[in-house]
């Protein structure tokens, strides 16, 4: 009887000791939880302050913090699952070395995934089917129809100025979508508007929408007058230099590479045809007439004794915008094979070809 009571008391003392150890352990856990609770409150307060400051400085960075924070919880959940797997596989509680190895592997994985997440943090999901990369100003919009993707791309980048260009990818970064409409050089506010509208409808359905982006002005190509080539300039043509000065052609070389024009002082100067722009082509009859006059004067048949300084002539010229046509003036200089200068009452005499003046009796 005494032996039985002795065993009972021994077992009872052992149970009391076990309960005392459990109570000590639970008290330590309560103390640790209280300490962690203070740290959590302090950390949340700091995090809230950082988020508030970022909302004013760089709102897009908030999504990065959110992603990294969620990754911490995901890694912790995965760690618990791995520990449970080890326990179930061995049929017993894992040893400290096993737990240490699992924690080490999860820590390395967490570091790799965190770095990868930060590297990809420039991708911000604005909606179920719209992903935005602010660092590159690129938006990926998931759409199930290729033709509708094409229509939206043209509406955004061709009709309007939402993006500079677009392309369509045959796979989407968003689940349940077949294509990605990729728009380049898009502003954040336009990317958000794109995420807020229904891309399952054609853009023509937005006729009465509040979002009406600026219409792209058509690019007008500047009209370039081609450089005059050899044999492209003829007598009577109006040519222009690269500096913008216009001249009337009075003579052309046999190969067409050199032409003679009259400068501001009515002096004949030679210019390369390749350096001139063709502004206006002379009429065929006028060109033939000039050629005939040039040929006559070059043979010396135009120097008549009647052409003398002081003789009166009537102007019959289509040049100088018909400014002097019909006026009467006096020959001011000795006529040459090409023409002569006529005093019309201005500050300086004006040069005319001989067939542009009629000698008065």
Band (pLDDT 50/70/90 cuts) for residue 349 is confident
Sheet holding 357-359, edge to edge: 350-353, 339-343, 328-331, 312-315, 357-359
Tokens of 130: 């719209």
pLDDT of residue 116: 44
Q: What average pLDDT does the segment 280-294 reach?
A: 51
pLDDT of residue 172: 93
**pLDDT tens digits for range 193-208:** 899 888 988 888 876 6
Q: What average pLDDT does the segment 326-334 reach?
A: 87
**pLDDT tens digits for range 98-123:** 545 545 555 555 444 444 443 444 78
pLDDT of residue 293: 46
Which three-class secondary structure state does DSSP give residue 206?
helix
pLDDT of residue 149: 93
pLDDT over 70 at 91, yes or no: no
CB neighbour list of residue 165: distance below 8 Å, 6 or more residues apart: 157, 183, 184, 185
Q: Of 295-304, 326-335, 340-349, give the lowest mean pLDDT range.
A: 295-304
pLDDT of residue 292: 46
pLDDT over 50 at 288, yes or no: no
pLDDT over 80 at 139, yes or no: yes
As a whole-number percent, the residues of the chain with pLDDT over 90 amount to: 17
Which of residues 298 and 271 earns the better pLDDT score?
271
pLDDT of residue 178: 92
CA distance 251 to 259: 6
Q: What average pLDDT does the segment 221-233 reach?
A: 51
Q: What average pLDDT does the segment 319-338 reach?
A: 81
**pLDDT tens digits for range 140-155:** 999 999 999 999 999 9
Cβ atoms of 159 and 216 within 8 Å: the answer is: yes
Q: What average pLDDT does the segment 66-79 reach?
A: 69
Q: What average pLDDT does the segment 34-45 reach?
A: 74
pLDDT over 90 at 264, yes or no: no
pLDDT of residue 111: 47
Which of residues 340 and 122 earns the better pLDDT score?
340
Cβ atoms of 244 and 200 within 8 Å: the answer is: no
Chain centre to alpha carbon of residue 203? 22
pLDDT of residue 287: 44
Q: What average pLDDT does the segment 63-87 reach?
A: 66
**pLDDT tens digits for range 165-192:** 999 999 999 998 999 999 999 999 999 9
Mean pLDDT over the full length of the chain? 75
Chain centre to alpha carbon of residue 224? 25
- The H or E element that residue 21 is part of is helix 2-57
pLDDT of residue 140: 96
CB neighbour list of residue 243: distance below 8 Å, 6 or more residues apart: none
Buried b (16+ CB within 10 A) or exposed e, 249-275: bbbbeeebebbbbbeeeeeeeebebee
Q: What average pLDDT does the segment 322-350 reach?
A: 83
pLDDT of residue 234: 77
pLDDT of residue 92: 53
pLDDT over 90 at 336, yes or no: no
pLDDT of residue 277: 83
Q: What average pLDDT does the segment 123-131 reach?
A: 91
């Amino acid at each position: 009887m005494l032996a039985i009571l002795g065993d009972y008391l021994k077992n009872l003392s052992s149970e009391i000791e076990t309960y005392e150890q459990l109570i000590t352990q639970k008290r330590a856990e309560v103390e640790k939880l209280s300490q962690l609770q203070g740290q959590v409150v302090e950390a949340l307060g700091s995090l809230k302050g950082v988020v508030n400051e970022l909302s004013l400085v760089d709102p897009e960075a908030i999504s990065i913090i959110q992603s990294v924070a969620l990754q911490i919880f995901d890694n912790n959940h995965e760690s618990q699952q791995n520990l449970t797997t080890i326990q179930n596989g061995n049929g017993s509680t894992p040893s400290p070395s096993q737990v240490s190895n699992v924690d080490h592997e999860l820590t390395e994985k967490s570091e790799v995934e965190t770095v990868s997440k930060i590297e990809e943090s420039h991708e911000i999901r604005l909606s179920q089917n719209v992903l935005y990369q602010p660092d590159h100003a690129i938006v990926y919009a998931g759409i199930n129809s290729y033709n509708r993707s094409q229509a939206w791309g043209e509406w955004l980048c061709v009709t309007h100025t939402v993006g500079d260009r677009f392309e369509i990818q045959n796979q989407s970064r968003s689940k349940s979508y077949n294509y990605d409409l990729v728009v380049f050089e898009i502003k954040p506010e336009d990317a958000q508007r794109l995420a807020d509208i229904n891309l399952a409808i054609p853009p023509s359905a937005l006729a009465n929408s509040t979002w009406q982006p600026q219409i792209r002005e058509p690019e007008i190509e500047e009209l370039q007058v081609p450089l005059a080539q050899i044999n492209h300039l003829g007598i009577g043509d109006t040519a222009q230099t690269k500096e913008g000065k216009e001249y009337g052609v009075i003579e052309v070389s046999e190969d067409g590479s050199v032409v003679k024009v009259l400068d501001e002082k009515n002096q004949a100067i030679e210019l390369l045809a390749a350096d001139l722009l063709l502004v206006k082509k002379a009429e065929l009859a006028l060109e033939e007439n000039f050629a005939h006059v040039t040929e006559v004067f070059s043979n010396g048949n135009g120097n008549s004794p009647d052409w003398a300084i002081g003789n009166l002539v009537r102007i019959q010229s289509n040049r100088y915008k018909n400014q002097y046509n019909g006026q009467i003036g006096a020959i001011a200089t000795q006529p040459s094979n090409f023409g002569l200068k006529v005093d019309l009452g201005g500050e300086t005499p004006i040069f005319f070809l001989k067939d542009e003046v009629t000698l008065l009796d």
